[in-house]
A and B are shown apart, each in its own frame.
Chain A
Amino acid sequence: MRYSGFKVIKEALTGHKGWTPAWRDPEPQSHYDIVIIGGGGHGLATAHYLAKVYGEKKIAVLEKGWIGGGNVGRNTTIVRSNYLLDGNEPFYEMSLKLWEGLEQDLNYNAMISQRGIMNLIHSDAQRDAFVRRGNAMMLNGADAEYLDLDQIKKEYPFLNFDDARFPIKGGLAQRRGGTVRHDAVAWGYARSADSHGVDIIQNCEVTGFRIENGKCLGVETSRGYIGASKVGCAVAGSSGRLMAKANMRLPIESHVLQAFVSEGLKPVLPGVITFGAGHFYVSQSDKGGLVFGGDLDGYNSYAQRGNLPVVEDVCEGGMAIMPMIGRARLLRMWGGIMDMSMDGSPIIDQTHIDGLYFNGGWCYGGFKATPASGMVFAHLLAKDEPHETATAYRFDRFKTGHMIDEKGMGNQPNLH
């Protein structure tokens, strides 16, 4: 069923009796051409592009809980492509372009709002670094704009300009960045993939891989064995746990990242703002809540909840740039588990096991990458070669020294 304004009016006049479920609830078949483990944003996007762009048939997405119940439902919904390095920027810019056309592609309202993102600058050295980043973005076809202090005062008059310790000197803006309704991304991809024949199988946990003579033949699940010519893993957050079942160690640690939402307020924030002297970012949802977050808790965790020292640190960051945030009451806070890779960049590659493919290591930047991640992972699964924007996301880059370390932190995952 196609959604449209006409359809909404027709259903409103006829008692909403014509709506049907957005996707089927099929029983798993005994064999698929391609099985994708993980019914989150990346897994569902992969299935959508495999079916729609690459014309693959017989695809299944296996999800241990319900679709969209993992990190795609737990993030701060920001999309942007303000990266510096060649290995990253073309990929993230492709992602932003896919976001811009996503709703038409999926026939689904994902509430994509290009309200802009602005990174604050607090020192001369930081200005140099950000201007360089802006130039790198423009070289890769993205938009970037340097804002001087007067422009920022005009656009964001509520910021703390008089802070003696961290004075605001300027900002780097990407006007095409913004926010997206995160759950709708999972639902939109699921609905579209389903309409192209993909089986989305929920409550189906993968308990092991069947691997013989170095080839992956299929997966053992809580709903029985499912054979597959190719298996793609897209379970960021749980990559360590899943790949251990294939006896693989990864250049990844799992860490917890907290996020926060305030009570609903009238519109106060025009776009996404990030603090350049600490780690704090904030936007306002369409419901009015201020959505914000900061650093990782910093220790390995699969617990999906964090501790109070980071809550204090994040709130201090908010108070430092935007003192009015102190008047808002906190409504909710939660934690999500991040695949923190050794260089802060993702891995999308074949494994050493024939027929087993891996997509993970998204650190805390996975949401904005959802469409591009799906596209390039679909490309890899369909053609057995990397997409041109994802050639750097290899497993062996740590061995060969081709790390993609945006922050220059080295192999210390909790600092990326």
Chain B
Amino acid sequence: MIINHPLLGPRDSAEFVYLGDASLIERPDPAAETALADFVDYAYMRENPAGSLRELWFHEAGDRSWLVVTRNTMTHEISDVQMARDVARKIGCSK
């Protein structure tokens, strides 16, 4: 698979480390009343769709940036790549 890095252009997926579902960006509020249940859900439960999935890839053998890659799990086709930083800021994360 070739991942089209927003800054570096097309890179071999072997340069990356895979973390998983991009919903991991949205860490629950540890001060919430339901924090325990929220974190169990956040840490262990997954949508695991057969089809389009947004996922986190880390460019370990490159510029060490985190990317949000939208990829089809049935065909391995990649339809969108964004910097995870930009995605996180858009939803209001501070870093």
Sorting the interface of chain B by its residue count into under 10, 10 to 19, 20 to 34 or 35 or more gives: 20 to 34
Interface hits, A48-64 → B, CB 8 Å: none
Interface hits, B40-84 → A, CB 8 Å: 40, 43-50, 53, 55, 71, 73-76
Report the tally of A-B residue pairs with Cβ distances under 8 A: 69
A301 to B75, CA, bound (A): 8
Residue in contact with A250 in the complex, picked from B48, B53, B71, CB distance below 8 Å: B48
Contacts A301-B73, A399-B40 hold; do A249 and B45 have CB atoms under 8 A apart? yes
Interface: A93 (CB within 8 A): no
When the two chains form their complex, are residues B18 and A254 in contact, meaning their CB atoms are under 8 A apart? Answer: no
Contacts A300-B73, A302-B73 hold; do A251 and B46 have CB atoms under 8 A apart? yes
A399 to B37, CA, bound (A): 8
The 0/1 profile, CB within 8 Å of B marked 1, for residues 373-416 of chain A is 00000000000000000000000001100000000000111100
Interface: B28 (CB within 8 A): no
When the two chains form their complex, are residues A254 and B44 in contact, meaning their CB atoms are under 8 A apart? Answer: no
Residues of B within 8 A of A298 (CB): 18
When the two chains form their complex, are residues A398 and B44 in contact, meaning their CB atoms are under 8 A apart? Answer: yes
Interface: A299 (CB within 8 A): yes
A285 to B14, CA, bound (A): 31
Residues of B within 8 A of A413 (CB): 20
When the two chains form their complex, are residues B45 and A250 in contact, meaning their CB atoms are under 8 A apart? Answer: yes
A226 to B78, CA, bound (A): 39
Interface: A252 (CB within 8 A): yes
Interface: B7 (CB within 8 A): no
Sorting the interface of chain A by its residue count into under 10, 10 to 19, 20 to 34 or 35 or more gives: 20 to 34
Interface: B1 (CB within 8 A): yes
Closest A residue by C-beta to B1: A307
Residues of A within 8 A of B21 (CB): 253, 300
A90 to B48, CA, bound (A): 30
Interface: A240 (CB within 8 A): yes
Closest A residue by C-beta to B53: A300
When the two chains form their complex, are residues B49 and A240 in contact, meaning their CB atoms are under 8 A apart? Answer: yes
A250 to B49, CA, bound (A): 11
Residue in contact with A398 in the complex, picked from B18, B40, B55, CB distance below 8 Å: B40
Whole-angstrom distance from the CB of A122 to the nearest CB of chain B?
A: 24
When the two chains form their complex, are residues B50 and A309 in contact, meaning their CB atoms are under 8 A apart? Answer: no
Residues of A within 8 A of B53 (CB): 300
Whole-angstrom distance from the CB of A372 to the nearest CB of chain B?
A: 25
Known: A302-B50, A342-B43. 12 other contacts (CB 8 A): A241-B50, A249-B45, A249-B48, A252-B48, A253-B20, A253-B48, A298-B18, A299-B71, A302-B73, A399-B40, A412-B20, A414-B20
Sorted nearest first, the 10 A-B pairs with minimum C-beta distance are A240-B48, A309-B14, A398-B44, A251-B44, A302-B50, A249-B45, A299-B18, A342-B44, A399-B40, A241-B50
Interface residues of B (CB under 8 A from A): 1, 12-14, 18-21, 40, 43-50, 53, 55, 71, 73-76
Contacts A/B (CB < 8 Å), 12 sampled: A240-B46, A249-B47, A251-B44, A251-B46, A253-B46, A298-B18, A299-B71, A300-B55, A302-B73, A302-B74, A309-B12, A411-B44
Interface residues of A (CB under 8 A from B): 238, 240-241, 244, 249-254, 298-303, 307, 309, 342, 398-399, 411-414
